[in-house]
Amino acid sequence: MRAAQTRITILLMGGSCLAVGAAYWLAVRGQPLSPFILVRGALLVIGTALVAMLAITALVRDAARYRRLILDQIQHSLMNDLPGIAAPPKDPNARPIVNTLRERIDSLQSRADQLQIQKKNLEIQLRLADAQRRQSLIMINGISDAVLVTDSFDELLVANPAAAEVFAFDLAHSTKKPIAQLLDSPAAAKLAADISDLRANHTRTNRRTVDYQLEIEGLLHTFSVTLSCVIDNHDQFSGVVTVLHDRTRENEISKMKTDFVSHVSHELRTPLSSIKAYAELLVDGEATDDKTRSEFYHIIQAEADRLSRLIDNILNISRIESGMMRVNKKSISLNEILKQAVEVTSPGAKEKNIAIIDQTSPIFFHVQADRDMIYQSVLNIISNAIKYTPAGGTVRLALEVREEEVVVLVTDSGVGIPPEAMKHLFEKFYRVEQHKNMAKGSGLGLNLTRQIIESIHKGKMIVISEVGKGSTFGFSLPIAA
């Protein structure tokens, strides 16, 4: 408003100056030029120039004010959620600018909204990816095989506790470390080199399976190692996954099975060969008199019994190990079982002039157990005591109660067991080398006895021995309530 007034004032003043100038020129036209006329003319020109300067100054100021007014209006609109722009500006000259600005701001606003939605989506995806990453880590950590994941710089991305244990590195501070630094033992360094090699040549081979032998806590372990390249959706190499499967135990079991089959075949062949040989002698009429024939019949019978015992032992051991053994536990008296076992083994003891001294208590001790199995165990122990005691020796039987347990002890004055053999006594088919000529045996009796006492009846085997002095074999069982 003030700008318009200023403009009108200046125009009026300009017009007045021009009118005065024109009137003056008409008045002095045709008159000779005098100094007075010249001075008045000059004053008129100066006055007109001053008015023109004033007009220009007012116009410049007016333009500056006008510009500031528009900027204020825009700023006001932006600060107050565009109400000023939403309403059409009062000055018609500002409308096109404000409209353009409003469109621009509208498009910026919608872009900002879109970006906000995109940001929220990305946050959700990030949270999902993080949850998936944690889930994958939990799964990798749960794998019993050792797992190592390396990137395209051969630096560790992920490892599980099994891997940290195998290669003895600190799992918490291993990420992003060069794999060659983590796998630094000579045997493990070969694996680190293979990982690098697969990474470098991944286009040719994407998977390799290699066997490694690594020492863990002083024991040599055999690992079957699978190295696989990870290629992403864009055919880009992302890393190498290395899985180490410890085959040591499997190898041991496989060897045990092979040994077992070869032992069983060997043990079966021995009595079978005897039976076959004596039967052939009888068929060929080599036994000419009744005494020889009877002797051959007895040998065949004894070997057949041995064969049958051996097969029974093998079957019982395998039934117990596979959990297929039928167990019939009831309250039984150990005194009776010992008595019966002594009756059965006495003829053998008598042949060797071995005295069986019964020192069992007259009090009857009962245990909750399978009678046949406990009888089998007691029989094995007393038979061994007689077998590994030279003629003229003694075998003492004791039955006593210690705290909540009943203890059966069979002490002989036999050859005893060398200390180095003690830890092998209960292994299948183990026989002390020095005893092999003393008596026939299969090396299964003590293994079966221990399985019966410890696995089935939750008791404990007892062995004390001294070479040349004798041995005490026995077991303890929880006393029946």
Give residues in contact with ligand ADP (CB under 6 A). Answer: 380, 384-385, 388, 412, 414-415, 417, 425, 430-432, 435, 441-447, 471, 473
Smallest separation (angstroms) from ligand ADP to the CB of 385:
5
Smallest separation (angstroms) from ligand ADP to the CB of 476:
18
CA distances from 313 to 264, 268, 344, 462, 473 (A): 11, 12, 18, 21, 19
CB of 239 closer than 8 Å to CB of 230: yes
Nearer to ligand ADP, 183 or 386 (CB): 386
What is the DSSP code (8-state) at residue 171? Answer: G
What is the DSSP code (8-state) at residue 456? Answer: I
Nearer to ligand ADP, 296 or 430 (CB): 430
Nearer to ligand ADP, 240 or 410 (CB): 410
- CB burial readout 433-456, b (16+ within 10 A) else e: eebeeeeebbbbbbbbbbbbbeeb
Nearer to ligand ADP, 397 or 446 (CB): 446
Smallest separation (angstroms) from ligand ADP to the CB of 137:
50
Chain residue whose CB lies nearest ligand ADP:
441
By CB atoms closer than 10 A (0-12, 13-18, 19+), residue 208 is middle
DSSP of 173-207: G-TTSBHHHHS-SHHHHHHHHHHHHHHHTTTT-SE
Nearer to ligand ADP, 144 or 353 (CB): 353
Smallest separation (angstroms) from ligand ADP to the CB of 417:
5
3-state helix, strand and coil shares in percent for the chain, rounded to the nearest 5: 60, 20, 25
Q: Report d(CA 159, CA 146) in Å as an integer.
A: 8
- For residues 294, 297, 298, 302, the Cα torsion angle rounded to the nearest 10 degrees is 180
By CB atoms closer than 10 A (0-12, 13-18, 19+), residue 405 is middle
Smallest separation (angstroms) from ligand ADP to the CB of 217:
31
Beta bridge partners of 408: 399, 475
Smallest separation (angstroms) from ligand ADP to the CB of 130:
60
Nearer to ligand ADP, 335 or 376 (CB): 376
By CB atoms closer than 10 A (0-12, 13-18, 19+), residue 118 is exposed
Smallest separation (angstroms) from ligand ADP to the CB of 414:
5
Smallest separation (angstroms) from ligand ADP to the CB of 465:
7
Beta bridge partners of 209: 226
Q: Report d(CA 462, CA 377) in Å as an integer.
A: 13
Nearer to ligand ADP, 332 or 417 (CB): 417
By CB atoms closer than 10 A (0-12, 13-18, 19+), residue 171 is middle
Smallest separation (angstroms) from ligand ADP to the CB of 141:
44
Nearer to ligand ADP, 57 or 434 (CB): 434
Nearer to ligand ADP, 14 or 418 (CB): 418
